[in-house]
């Protein structure tokens, strides 16, 4: 045995916190995420949608890395008309940002426990023009902290 993972857990937790961009806000804010992809609502490529069962997501990637447009971490979103909220999900009754999903339902379900990664050049089809506000990003961050025990 060369070592134990338990000895590396503090560093791994720190790296995960950083990768998820926790506490950096949204691209529309004035904090660290300003101007990045973090918080943007994206449409996923058809193949990605078939694989995971979601067509849209909110990017949660650390701001500087998100701008490199390589791998994006995102939480899937869908209409509340399609899904029942489960433990760890964030519900946004009226997001206040335009999305096809919000128009077709009484709000959005943000499936935080389903956090995924996508290769930006091929699996992210486009930015929808919508961006999650700072308050929604704080809710997502809190749910991610709880999910990963950070």
Read off the pTM: 0.90
Number of domains in the chain: 1
Structural domain that includes position 108 = 5-148
- Helices assigned H by DSSP within the chain: 5-19, 46-52, 63-66, 100-103, 120-123, 134-148
Mean pLDDT of 88-99: 79
Residue 8 above 60 pLDDT? yes
Q: 23: which 2 tokens?
A: 């506490």
Of 94, 106, 104, 101, nearest to 133 by C-alpha is 94
- In which region does residue 9 sit, left (phi positive, over 0), alpha (psi from -120 to 50) or beta (all else)? alpha
Q: What's the angle, vertex CA 69, arms to CA 10 and CA 125, rounded to 5?
A: 120
Looking at residue 93, its pLDDT comes to 83
Q: Say yes or no to pLDDT of 147 above 90.
A: yes
The CATH number linked to 143 is: 2.30.30.110
Q: What is the mean pLDDT of the chain?
A: 89
For the chain, helix (H) and strand (E) counts, in that order, are 6, 7
């Amino acid at each position: 045995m060369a070592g134990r993972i338990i000895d590396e857990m503090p560093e791994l937790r720190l790296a995960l916190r950083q990768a998820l961009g926790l506490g950096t806000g949204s691209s529309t804010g004035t904090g660290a995420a300003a101007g990045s992809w973090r918080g943007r609502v994206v449409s996923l490529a058809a193949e990605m949608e078939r694989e995971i069962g979601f067509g849209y997501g909110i990017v949660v990637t650390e701001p500087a890395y998100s701008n490199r447009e390589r791998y994006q971490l995102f939480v899937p979103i869908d209409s509340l008309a399609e899904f029942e909220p489960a433990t760890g999900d964030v519900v946004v009754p009226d997001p206040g940002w335009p999305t096809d999903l919000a128009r077709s339902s009484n709000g959005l379900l943000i499936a935080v426990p389903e956090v995924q990664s996508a290769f930006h050049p091929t699996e992210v089809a486009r930015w929808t023009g919508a961006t999650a506000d700072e308050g929604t990003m704080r809710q997502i961050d809190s749910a991610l902290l709880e999910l990963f025990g950070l």
